[in-house]
Chain A
């Protein structure tokens, strides 16, 4: 038995949305097999991982808290990926946003001004933007591949953060731990929904989704993003300025990643430490693809991946499962998604005999 592919002659709208669902189902099956291989009861593990966090009223708002940075970053990335601008270094831009925004609070320890948080938010966005401007400059001016440069800058950003929290910004009363002092009240995000940890970053994520959708669907520049990714040659003939688009997309995604970093340290974390991100910048890449590179889709995909973080934590505590399972789940999900996306363009057939031209 062989699988033969037949072109659908055009992308299937149905499968564009069916593929992520099928990929999720297959990922759950694969995860259950991994749980069984680890000697855990698959049913109970899956429940702890994916259902229990949703079943408890206290945990449900946490889903939004975890999804906020993922969605913020992924909205920017999804616009970029559409135009073949591969910003893989969002993790670094997130870190720089946290450093720049958090730095404002640390430099003004006495400030209780209501303008302090807005200043931090602006600094956070600028920090992420600055970090993304480097790959933008290197690609447009020197033709250097932004995948590698933005990724290398992630390692540089991490070292910079460590330097600051063990060096000049270290908390003198922190018992020698590598961390800054806790931000004062005026430098922390207010809680929007009482009794939860839902902070301004969650609101920002929803705004980013709405604006991202408007830009993509309703604006001329969004049209250019779509064309340049789908038909780069046509875009060139149409006279779209590629340099300008690369700059725009990298600055935009950098600013959003920087905001995500700032809201995280001004919100749930409350200070600068080397562990301000459980890999949000990388997971957001999966969120962007799972959300079909569409801001609205990103919102749902962000919630799914946020669940994998919450479930991972729960499974670690309740089942003694290593936290690495989260990374495996995320990787497998992206694998299955990429495989299922074949169904958007091709219709598979089972055939008995070997056809003249088998599977490509």
Chain B
């Protein structure tokens, strides 16, 4: 392999690992939002998932247990959100913000003893023979398990939403909860499941950050990725396939800043750090300016409370 293609492969590998947390969290939120629930607490759930996964992996020595614990913790956090918004009919925007504030605090509290500790990163799974292929080998067949999982989960969600009866029910509840209720669907039950799934995916995303991407724990380590994932769902106009494009675009932007720094361009690093946030704004503006399209694509009942009359 020549030096150039080696560098190219290395760049692609870093882009993939920077994109994966965004893709995981956004996939979960997409399913949640398609059921009509807007959970702005992604950042909080990711942080809780990150520290619980890290603490579990350090404590048990098993990253598998860490990942499972992170997903469970993300779901538990989402359960608070679900009870408040679905049972107590609380405002979803305010509850999501509360979840982020709470998650930031709780993760910092749990994590205070773990700052500065290292951990073995998730092992890469090299598929035999295939991973030896030039260039595409290490990219396609030499990744860690969660990167494969992110693709499988996205494809699975896409299949679920568009090819199964349950997925159709979930989408119809997001479009018109009154009509879905009249048809006999259990609106609140489905929304509970969709919200818990979103929480598990955010927890998984956090686990990826602390077990594979960093791999370590630091306070507020998600750095706004939860919010960027929320913007990605809008960017994708609630369609799973476009999520992949969006997540990889942002992964590339995140990595671009590292390369610009390495190339020695005279731009202060702080301005490069701003790039993903500015790009998020740019992307939101581009998509949202087509009002009719967003209105058509967005789940019609997104963020609206449901109460069965009677």
Chain A interface (Cβ < 8 Å from any Cβ of B): 5, 86, 88, 138, 141-145, 147-149, 151-153, 155-156, 159-160, 162-163, 166-167, 282-283, 285-286, 289, 322-332, 334-335, 338-339, 341-342, 345-346, 356-357, 359-360
Contact = CB atoms under 8 A, between A and B. Distances in A.
A282 to B, nearest CB: 6
B288 A144 contact: yes
B59 to A, nearest CB: 17
A63 to B, nearest CB: 21
A198 B192 CA distance: 48
Contacts of B164: none
Contact of A159 (B274, B281, B289, B308): B274
B93 A331 contact: no
B105 A324 contact: yes
Interface stretch (B9-17, B25-33, B80-88): B80-88
Given A331-B105, A335-B80, A338-B94, A148 B270 contact: no
A72 B62 CA distance: 49
Contact of A88 (B97, B106, B288): B97
B109 A155 contact: no
Contact of A324 (B98, B112, B270, B308): B112
Contacts of B99: 331
A5 B294 CA distance: 35
A20 B294 CA distance: 37
Given A142-B285, A144-B288, A163-B270, A328 B109 contact: yes
Given A324-B108, A338-B94, A339-B90, 10 more contacts: A142-B288, A148-B230, A149-B281, A152-B224, A163-B270, A285-B97, A330-B101, A331-B99, A335-B102, A360-B306
Interface of B: 40, 44, 80, 84, 87-91, 93-95, 97-99, 101-109, 112, 188, 219, 223-224, 227-228, 230-231, 234, 268, 270-271, 273-274, 277-278, 280-281, 284-285, 288-289, 291, 294, 306-310
A143 B310 contact: no
B97 A163 contact: no
Given A143-B291, A145-B234, A324-B109, A160 B270 contact: yes
Q: Which 4 A-B pairs have the closest CB atoms?
A: A327-B105, A331-B102, A324-B108, A338-B90
B178 to A, nearest CB: 12
A153 B108 contact: no
Nearest to B89: A342
A273 B1 CA distance: 48
A167 B270 CA distance: 10
Interface centre among A289, A331, A356 (most CB of B within 10 A): A331
A335 B84 CA distance: 8
B101 A331 contact: yes
A147 B40 contact: yes
B183 to A, nearest CB: 16
Contact of A328 (B90, B105, B230): B105
Contacts of A162: 270
B107 to A, nearest CB: 8
A148 B307 CA distance: 28
B278 A328 contact: no
A153 B270 contact: no
A166 B309 CA distance: 59
Nearest to B268: A163
A142 B291 CA distance: 8
B284 A144 contact: yes
Nearest to A321: B109
B306 to A, nearest CB: 7
B108 A359 contact: no
Given A143-B289, A339-B88, A325 B230 contact: no
B102 A148 contact: no
Contacts of A356: 310
A163 B231 CA distance: 26
Contact of B94 (A142, A323, A334, A360): A334
A74 to B, nearest CB: 13
A338 B224 contact: no
A153 B277 contact: yes
Contacts of B230: 148
Contacts of B109: 322, 324-325, 328
Contacts of A329: 105
Nearest to B98: A334
Contacts of A166: 270
A187 B308 CA distance: 59
Contacts of B291: 143
Nearest to B40: A147
B101 A138 contact: no
A346 B307 CA distance: 12
B106 A331 contact: yes
Given A144-B284, A151-B227, A334-B94, A156 B277 contact: yes
B271 A148 contact: no
A88 B230 CA distance: 14
A359 to B, nearest CB: 6
B105 A334 contact: no
A144 B285 CA distance: 5
B258 to A, nearest CB: 15
Contacts of B271: 159, 163
A167 B267 CA distance: 12
Contacts of B228: 152
20 contacts: A143-B289, A148-B284, A153-B281, A159-B270, A159-B271, A159-B273, A159-B274, A163-B270, A285-B94, A322-B109, A324-B106, A325-B109, A327-B101, A327-B108, A328-B109, A330-B101, A330-B102, A334-B98, A357-B309, A357-B310
